[in-house]
Amino acid sequence: MKAPFSKVLIANRGEIALRIQRTCRVLGIRTVAVYSEADADQRHVLEADEAVLIGPAEARASYLDVAAVVGAAQQTGAEAIHPGYGFLSENADLARACAEAGVVFVGPPPEVLAGTADKLEVKGRVAAAGVPVIPGPLEPVPEDEASLRAAANETGYPLLLKASAGGGGKGMRRVEREEDLVAAAEGARREAGGAFGNTDLYLERIIAPARHVEVQVLVDAEGNVRIFGCRDCSMQRRNQKVIEESPPPHLDTNAIEAAAALACQALDYRNAGTVEMLVQPDGTFWFLELNCRLQVEHPVTELTYGVDLVALQLRVAAGEQVPSEEVRFVPQGHAVEARLYAEDPAAGFLPSPGTVLVAREPQGPGIRVDSALRDGMTVPPYYDPMLAKICAHGATREEAIARLDQALRETVVLGVRTNTAFLRALLADDDFRAGRLRTDAIDRRVEELTATPPLPLEVVLAAAGEELLGGGGDRTRAGTEAAALPTPWDTLAGFRLGEIR
Amino acid sequence: MSRRALRRTYVAGNEVYDLDLRHDDGRVEGTYDPGDGERPIAFDVERLGDGVVRVTRDGVRARATVVRDGDTAWVAIDGHTYELRIEEVGGGAAHHAGEEDFAVSPMTGTLAKVSVEPGQQVEADAELFVVEAMKMEYVVRAPRDVTVAEVRHTVGEQVEQGRVVVTFEEAP
């Protein structure tokens, strides 16, 4: 098959930039990286065919600068821009600027992004198409305190305050009692204003207990909808996903997938997207939101459906039809993903920027690692602290979980604090193992899940012995510069789409 | 070849470990005295590769990855990561947490909000300032009843981890 493009610019950083580079390499597409002054030594810059500096460390002046990103594409002759997730991925201005510059935006057309940027408006359009939406006013929260209180009382406590322009948990606040409402709204507005430049909020009733189930869709230029099943992303901490899996255990997803297709048609959606739903224990489900991008957790779908979603995104963006007569596909086995973060669970999950002195990634049957790790790398304080996604594929859910746990045991990251032990505690949890999933499970038991285990004496002995033996263990900051870089082909080792071994 | 014997002190959490160590050509033998009349524990450590060692005690072997960064040692064993502080014998000053007359940023980020001003008396646990970074806001609170002396940064400024943002007046 002919490559859809000959050169693609990737407007992102970290593991997702590297993951998109991998598909480009497989398709024979040259890659252009963009980077901020804080990221000159990151792998996404070093492994791309070309790289363009687009601004200072602050994302607002670099990765979020539409003119700088499009300028870099024009300067390097890139035919398309893949935005990854986060940053400008759902930004209609970027899609519009691409169209004006004659560069293909790998995602929905600007008018679709403009029409879906306001989550509250999307909710109204989807509801009109007959898809069930979460109870709450379909108008933004009023600015004045009395009307805010009245709207909240009508919605009922506990409730969620959400940013109309929101995403990734930013500008979102759970409010248990009326006395917390005003302060929560103030905080949410400030966070939303800083992150999105839009302080509009809306209210939703909290659906609990519930599972977070999302549908992977792909719509080609002709509007043909294809569905690559569902993922369960119920394992969340304060609305941030931690563990994701495909397919959702113990759940008939037929009606959910049909509703997702309806939502895509109502919004005239194009390219890859995710329809998020909340599912109650009795199977009742509610539309949560549409994400107009590749999701962080897309690897579990790639593993179980044997597809390369980035390759499909590029083909759809180039105007090709989705290569299948089928509308829905059948998963093979089960896949689970864990998000590895530079953060300190024992200190309330504070991010832990710094220098990664040693990084060892797991390998083995069914293991896929999407990562930007390398020895000596900086974890800058300016961006999301996710280091890697560790994924495991197995014939059954039990096998996938066992493989993922083993992979996490073999994952070594020293120099910054990580959530590895927390991830393993989640995998060991009885309710998780039994597939009894609910979005509030982690928050209800967070202390137990982040308990620090007693220090084994071996740890002290190892440190003492190594100090005397010396030889390679001392990676103080100056000593890390010479750390070997993997070649691009080495980096395909942990990459795998849907083959069970 | 090289043969050394020495005593080292390690601090992890609230525990202090005094170890007697003998270094003998690529292998370290040692004893750890747990005190309280308990039997001293003998162990040895061998180097397996770049930063990887094998610890043997009571015939049980464990593999560990170790890296040092100044006076901190990072150790990974069996999927768990630990951070140890290494101290010279006799070194280390007493440190009393919660008695500092200042409040620092817990992380590098942007100062999103300052809730106090100089001269203001605040109660323990009152909000002092808010730092925003990555995806979250962090609220820094008063460690005890204090009077604010100084606010050293303004909203919108970048503050590094450990940077003093608010100082307190000395208790009368």
CA distance A318 to A5: 7
CATH class, domain A334-428, is alpha beta
CA distance A162 to B66: 44
Q: Find chain A residues with C-beta within 8 A of B33's C-beta.
A: none
Which residue bears the tokens 């207990």? A209
CATH number for region A7-106: 3.40.50.20
DSSP SS3 for A124: helix
The pLDDT score that the predictor gives to residue A132 is 97
Spans of all domains in chain B: 3-87, 102-168
Q: Answer yes or no: do A467 and B12 touch at CB < 8 A.
A: no
Please identify among residues 162-181 of chain A the ones whose CB lies closer than 8 Å to any CB of chain B. Answer: 168-170
- Residue B67 has its nearest CB partner, among A191, A383, A473, at A473
Distance from CA of A249 to the nearest CA of B (A): 27
Rounded to the nearest 10 degrees, the angle between the axes of helix A92-101 and helix A66-76 is: 30
Q: Are the folds of B3-87 and B102-168 the same?
A: no
CATH 2.170.190.11 corresponds to the domain B102-168: no
Q: Answer yes or no: do B74 and A357 touch at CB < 8 A.
A: yes
Q: Find chain A residues with C-beta within 8 A of B107's C-beta.
A: 350-351, 353, 381
**Exposure string for A463-481, b = 16+ CB within 10 A, e = fewer:** bbbbbbbeebbbbeeeebe
The pLDDT score that the predictor gives to residue B4 is 64
Q: Does residue A412 contact residue B76 with C-beta atoms inside 8 Å? A: yes
Q: Answer yes or no: do A468 and B15 touch at CB < 8 A.
A: no
The pLDDT score that the predictor gives to residue A501 is 44
Q: Answer yes or no: do A466 and B19 touch at CB < 8 A.
A: no
ipTM reported for the complex surpasses 0.85: no
Distance from CA of A398 to the nearest CA of B (A): 20
The pLDDT score that the predictor gives to residue A342 is 97
Q: Which CATH number fits domain B3-87: 3.30.700.30, 2.60.40.1730, 3.40.50.300, 3.40.1210.10?
A: 3.30.700.30
- Residue A456 has its nearest CB partner, among B21, B77, B107, at B77
CA distance A432 to A234: 10
Which stretches in chain A have pLDDT values below 70? 168, 323, 325, 471-501
Q: Find chain A residues with C-beta within 8 A of B161's C-beta.
A: 353, 381
pLDDT digits (tens, 9 = 90+) for B43-77: 999 998 888 999 999 889 999 999 988 888 999 99
Chunked into runs of 10 residues, chain B (172 residues) has average pLDDT values of 67 78 84 85 90 91 91 88 70 39 81 94 92 80 90 88 82 57
Q: Answer yes or no: do B12 and A414 touch at CB < 8 A.
A: no
The pLDDT score that the predictor gives to residue B72 is 86
CATH 3.30.1490.20 corresponds to the domain A135-205: yes
Q: Answer yes or no: do A468 and B23 touch at CB < 8 A.
A: yes
Does A487 lie at the interface with B, CB-CB under 8 angstroms? no
- Residue A415 has its nearest CB partner, among B10, B67, B134, at B67
- Residue B10 has its nearest CB partner, among A350, A413, A464, at A464
Q: Are the folds of A7-106 and A334-428 the same?
A: no
Which residue bears the tokens 């080792």? A493
Specify whether the backbone of A121 is left (phi greater than 0), alpha (psi in -120 to 50) or beta.
Answer: alpha
Spans of all domains in chain A: 7-106, 109-132+207-332, 135-205, 334-428
CATH 3.30.470.20 corresponds to the domain A109-132+207-332: yes
Distances from the Cα of B92 to the Cα of A46, A476, B9, B21, B85, angstroms: 42, 21, 10, 21, 11
The pLDDT score that the predictor gives to residue A337 is 98
CA distance A294 to A299: 10
